[in-house]
A and B are shown apart, each in its own frame.
Chain A
Amino acid sequence: MAKLPKPEELGKVDYIPPMTPWMETPVEFKPGTFCNAAKEKSLAGLDMPNARKWSVKDDDWQLPENWQEIIMEGLRDRLDKYRSLRLFMDICVRCGACADKCHFFIGTGDPKNMPVLRAELLRSVYRNDFTTAGKIFGKFAGARKLTIDVLKEWWYYFFQCTECRRCSVFCPYGIDTAEITIIGRELLNLLGLNIDWIMGPASACYNKGNHLGLEPHTFKSSIEFFLDDLKDITGINIEPSFNRKGAEILFVTPSGDVFADPGTYTCMGYLMLFHELGLDYTWSTYASEGGNFGFFTSFEAAKKLNYKIYAEAKRLGVKYIIGGECGHMWRLLNQYMDTWNGPADFLEVPVSPITGTRFENTKSTKMVHIAEFTADLIRHGKLNLDPSRNDHLNVTFHDSCNTSRGMGILEEPRYIINKVCKNFYEMPENTIREKTFCCGSGSGLNASENMEMRMKAGLPRANAVKYVRDQHNVNMLANICAIDRAALTALMTYWVPDVTVAGVHELLGNALVMKGEKKRITDLRGEPLPGVEED
């Protein structure tokens, strides 16, 4: 009879600590930890190279004959184009300060998820082919050849990083793993190695205007669909306009807000706010996406998708643009849009028509964050708010990675939350603001097939929410990001089941007292407001 392993041995089977150095430990693709391969159709939709049918599980990824050459050429090209890449390849001292800052490392315990090692995956190949020391000393200088195993390892770990930049906050040289991952993914995309959860939406966005692939009429009817609900809840008829020339303002938000709960309630909040202000604004079905999954593919793809916002603003002849709540969208609007598709000299510096505030901080991009816009309104007392309508909520706020570490919009949403509800509690300091933990599903990794990985990566965030739930009975996790609204909802379902997720403007919508509204008996979700009797 075969010897039965002891229980504690059985438990270890998969976890034998790698005895080989990391360079010689090839990656193992475990179900639930990676996303599906990009489909041929999606790759072709955005004119990406090597569009073909392939599967991650296959040994043969159907790469072009000269794939090594393509990667090396691509790397050389990018080393000459990005100081960030060249510098970050050269100056890391492997001090380890970043090691335990990554939510993927914390949640999975996989040592290759230490940011320093994620970068070393690329750095080792860089040393081998681009540095004197690597060419002479080889392995001793930390160099290795690019093999198919290395390439698969890249793919696995570059699609296991949410580009959240938390490590870069702690790095003494500011080395930003997001830069490494972004460029690593660009290189992989030269071979058509993307995931479908990114490529599909990016392709849809390019061709149809938004990630969800809603065609113009569907986009319009999706928004109109809310109007009935809003009429039921508030008794007010709201009539937004679409693709309207001559409007003062173009409004752009991630399409998730239009289509997926609970983002839809945030969208209702926008509609109510703009109606109440009598804002002269329009939606666009062409620029119907603020988010940008191209950014998770390549800078070029990102630029393509981002192009529509300014192009549409110009075509419609608006004065400026307001952007809805979204994380990576705002990193792009802040750090990339003007460079890619500016200058926006056909627009005017945004001035709030209600308060007269001139948004000097947007004088070049001419695009205002809705939280800035709303905070300004509240500060000037232009909104009639009844925070008691959110009395059933104990709220905490999750800073999105991109808006905190790639922009710095920290106080505006907090200011709004504090004005629209009475019970607000911060999560522990190490887990918010610039040190915020990622939802674990950013940068296009919010697919379904990698759910275990998402749950692991989101554990540090969920754990902090759990703490405030236990301490303060928090039951609402507010945020200003469309991916958060979807991803955190799943995350809470698993880790902290009694906490729901909402955008800040949903809370605002609840508290907003509108002119001529009927008595509110439910919140925007149709849930009865506690303590309010139906007449």
Chain B
Amino acid sequence: MGALLSFVGVSILILFAVIGAKANMYTLLGVIIPYAAVAIFIVGVVIRVVRWGRTPVPFRIPTTCGQQKSLPWIKQNKIENPTSTAGVIARMFFEIFLFRSLFRNVKTELRDGPKLDYASAKWLWFVGLVFHWSFLVIVVRHMRFFLEKVPFLIQLAENLDGFLQIGVPGLYMTDVAIIGAVTFLYVRRVVIPQIHYISLPADYFPLVLILGICGSGVLMRYFTKVHIVGVKAFTMGLVSFSPKIPEGIGTIFWVHIFLISVLLAYFPFSKLVHMAGIFMSPTRNMMNNSRMVRHVNPWDYPVKMRTYAEYEDAFRDKMKAAGLPLEKDEEPVEQSEEKE
């Protein structure tokens, strides 16, 4: 259901953009919606992050994936079971940039039968990595539209990305990679029954949306050859808060801009917030040092405890008979009722 629905949804969005462009609603498509989307994105993500940040972490609960620090002659796994800030930073680095945990899926042994079998897990790690890195590089490349002078780093990213030098304009590897990756991730959700079972419409929708964004971008760059100077004038207008609508950029561009706006506005309300959330995951970003340094629970409250005195009161006779030492060695006033 969700798989199809998300296609319908994104089609409607594209249709809206096309109609809007044809009807010359450029102020809506090019100014109001993008500004609103960026505002929603920023405010929404900030609210999310602040809300997570303000929610306390009452206990120190890292998932330890290696040897603890104990005796000096036993080698500690300083990254998978960190007790220092450096260890945590290293762990988070591997998590965020290399998807360390997903990579754990890969290892397998003593396989019996054709080789392909554990591959799906390996592919998930690999394609996930390709997808996210491509996305990042593409975002970085696009920064040239928002900066007067193109910094060296962006230039470098572009050159590396296009080093294959195929065609004119030069083919970016990431364009191919991201479309392939998104398609894989989508097909995987449809084809593997287990994954299909757990997938919600909210899992298909962002994939199709991103596919739409990439598709429109690719169309503009390689096929319809969008009026690049006009685009830059437009984007520079947006960042300098003096938006100008240039002439004749073409409908596809407005589809592209509109879908990006939708993605930005959708972002804070969806699972996409994992981008920010991963930094705050308490099972990954905490040190396993709770035996060395006391972790304080900010909302700790006193609870009724069964004290030793109560315990001794309940069992004094029996303890005495068994020769156990007592705090108050006296005859009980009455046979104390023990609770069960």
Find out whether A and B make contact in their complex, taking CB atoms under 8 A apart as touching.
Answer: yes
A95 touching B128 in the complex, CB below 8 Å, given contacts A84-B61, A304-B303, A412-B71: yes
Instruction: Say whether B197 contacts A408, CB under 8 Å.
Output: no
Chain B residues within an 8 Å CB radius of A435: 104
Stretch among B165-173, B216-224, B276-284 lining the A interface: B276-284
The distance in angstroms between the C-alpha atoms of A408 and B291, with both chains bound, is: 12
Q: Given A172-B101, A221-B322, A315-B308, A379–B61 Cβ distance below 8 Å?
A: no
Identity of the chain B residue whose Cβ is nearest the Cβ of A369 in the assembled complex? B70
Partner of B59, one of A339, A369, A412: A339
Q: Say how far B23's CB is from chain A's closest CB, in angstroms.
A: 27
Q: Are B294 and A173 in contact (CB under 8 A)?
A: no
Chain A 75-100 interface mask (CB, 8 Å, partner B; 1/0): 00001111110110011111111011
Check A364 against B322 for contact (C-beta < 8 Å): no
The residue that A434 contacts in the complex, of B60, B65, B284, B338, with Cβ under 8 A, is B65
B195 CB within 8 Å of chain A: yes
Chain A residues with CB below 8 A from B277, complex form: 87, 90-91, 173
Interface residues of A in 109-154 (CB under 8 A from B): 111, 114, 116-117, 120, 131-133, 140-142
Q: A97 contacts which of B102, B199, B270, B312 (Cβ < 8 Å)?
A: B102
User: Contact at A216–B315, with CB atoms within 8 Å?
Assistant: yes
Closest A residue to B305 by CB, please name it. A307
Residues facing B in A46-96 (CB within 8 A) are 47, 79-84, 86-87, 90-96
Chain B residue contacts of A376, Cβ below 8 A: 71
CB nearest neighbor in A for B268? A132
Determine if A207 and B291 form an interchain contact, defined as CB atoms under 8 angstroms apart: no
Is A486 in the interface zone, CB < 8 Å from B?
no
**Is residue B192 within 8 Å, beta carbon to beta carbon, of the partner chain?**
yes
Chain B count of residues within 8 A CB distance of the other chain: 94
Stretch at the interface among B13-21, B73-81, B142-150, B234-242: B73-81
Binary CB contact string for chain B from 39 to 78 against chain A (1 if under 8 A, 0 otherwise)? 0000000001001100111111101111111110111010
Chain B, residue nearest A362 (CB): B291
Q: How far is the CB of B22 from chain A (nearest CB, A)?
A: 29
Q: Does B324 contact A (CB under 8 A)?
A: yes
For A100, list chain B residues within 8 Å (CB).
194
Does chain A have a CB within 8 A of B225?
Answer: no
Which B residues lie within 8 Å of A221 (CB)?
322
Residues 79-103 of chain B: 1 if any A CB is under 8 Å from the residue's CB, otherwise 0? 0110000000000000100010110
Q: Given A173-B274, A408-B81, do A300 and B198 touch, yes or no (CB 8 Å)?
A: no
Question: Are A364 and B63 in contact (CB-based, < 8 A)?
Answer: no
Find A409's partner among B56, B70, B200, B305 (CB 8 Å cutoff). Answer: B70
B176 interface hit (Cβ, 8 Å): no
Of A41, A82, A342, the most chain B CB neighbours within 10 A belong to: A82
> In the bound complex, what is the Cα–Cα distance between A361 and B292 (angstroms)?
5
With beta carbons under 8 angstroms apart, the residue of A86, A95, A361, A412 that contacts B51 is A86
Interface members, chain A 312-326 (any B CB < 8 Å): 312, 315
Counting CB contacts under 8 A, is A422 at the interface? no
Asked whether A220 and B322 contact (CB < 8 A) given A87-B277, A173-B277, A207-B339, the answer is: yes
A22 x B197 contact (CB < 8 A): yes
Determine if B300 is an interface residue (Cβ-Cβ < 8 Å).
Answer: yes
CA distance A96 to B128 in the complex (A): 12
Check A243–B324 contact: CB distance below 8 A. yes
Task: Please name 21 pairs of A and B residues whose Cβ atoms are closer than 8 Å in the assembled complex, sorted by A.
Answer: A22-B198, A45-B340, A82-B56, A87-B281, A93-B274, A94-B203, A94-B271, A97-B102, A111-B194, A132-B269, A175-B283, A206-B306, A215-B318, A216-B319, A304-B303, A307-B305, A361-B68, A362-B291, A362-B292, A407-B68, A409-B68
Chain A positions near chain B (C-beta within 8 angstroms): 21-22, 41, 45, 47, 79-84, 86-87, 90-97, 99-100, 111, 114, 116-117, 120, 131-133, 140-142, 165, 168-176, 179, 203-204, 206-209, 215-217, 220-221, 242-245, 285-286, 299-300, 303-304, 307-308, 311-312, 315, 333-336, 338-340, 342-343, 357, 359-365, 367, 369, 372, 375-376, 379, 404-412, 415, 428-430, 433-435
User: Other than the known A174-B283, A216-B315, what 16 A-B pairs have Cβ atoms closer than 8 Å?
Assistant: A21-B1, A87-B52, A91-B273, A97-B124, A140-B201, A172-B102, A206-B306, A299-B58, A308-B306, A315-B308, A339-B300, A363-B291, A365-B291, A369-B70, A372-B70, A410-B68
